[in-house]
């Protein structure tokens, strides 16, 4: 098991492939250090996972803000197009409508990409870390957890 990889050492063994056995007392004395290392590792994993999810959420929020800015500009262009349509004949308002259509496409693309990115980062829960902690608890209790996948 990878959890107890540090308890058995091959470095001092002879040419055979048998791991060096440690006494029960030695194993029990190294248990608090092992638990500390597991807890620290899980905390670091949780931090890394939260940072990654919050970065994805930040990108999504930024893209949605960009979409909102372009939507505001779109509204201004549509208002200008309406004013031009009333005040003149065909060419000026047609140009304004073409610009508005281009801005509408930009708003739609930014909004869709932003929502997709925001969904990747929400909820900011460290799911992998929670699964690993549960697996570690089962291992420390001496239970076999068939539902959990092995960690790489």
* pLDDT tens for each residue of 98-130: 777 877 898 899 999 998 888 887 777 777 888
* pLDDT tens for each residue of 71-102: 999 988 887 876 676 566 556 767 777 777 87
CB 74 within 8 A of CB 104: yes
Distance separating alpha carbons of residues 10 and 16, to the nearest angstrom = 10
**123 CB-side CA count, 13 A:** 3
pLDDT at 86: 56
Angle at 133 between CA 128 and CA 138, to 5 degrees: 130
* pLDDT tens for each residue of 40-73: 988 998 888 888 888 888 888 999 999 999 999 9
């Amino acid at each position: 098991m990878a959890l107890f990889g540090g308890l058995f050492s091959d470095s001092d063994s002879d040419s055979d492939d048998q791991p060096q056995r440690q006494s029960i007392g030695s194993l029990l004395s190294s248990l608090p250090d092992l638990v500390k290392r597991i807890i620290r590792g899980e905390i670091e994993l949780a931090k890394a996972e939260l940072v990654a999810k919050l970065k994805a959420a930040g990108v999504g929020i930024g893209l949605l803000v960009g979409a909102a800015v372009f939507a505001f500009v779109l509204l201004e262009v549509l208002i200008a197009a309406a004013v031009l349509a009333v005040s003149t004949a065909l060419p000026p308002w047609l140009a304004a409508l073409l610009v508005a259509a281009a801005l509408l496409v930009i708003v739609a693309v930014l909004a869709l990409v932003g929502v997709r990115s925001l969904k990747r980062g929400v909820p900011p829960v460290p799911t992998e870390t929670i699964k690993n902690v549960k697996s570690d608890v089962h291992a420390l209790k001496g239970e076999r957890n068939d539902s959990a996948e092995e960690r790489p």
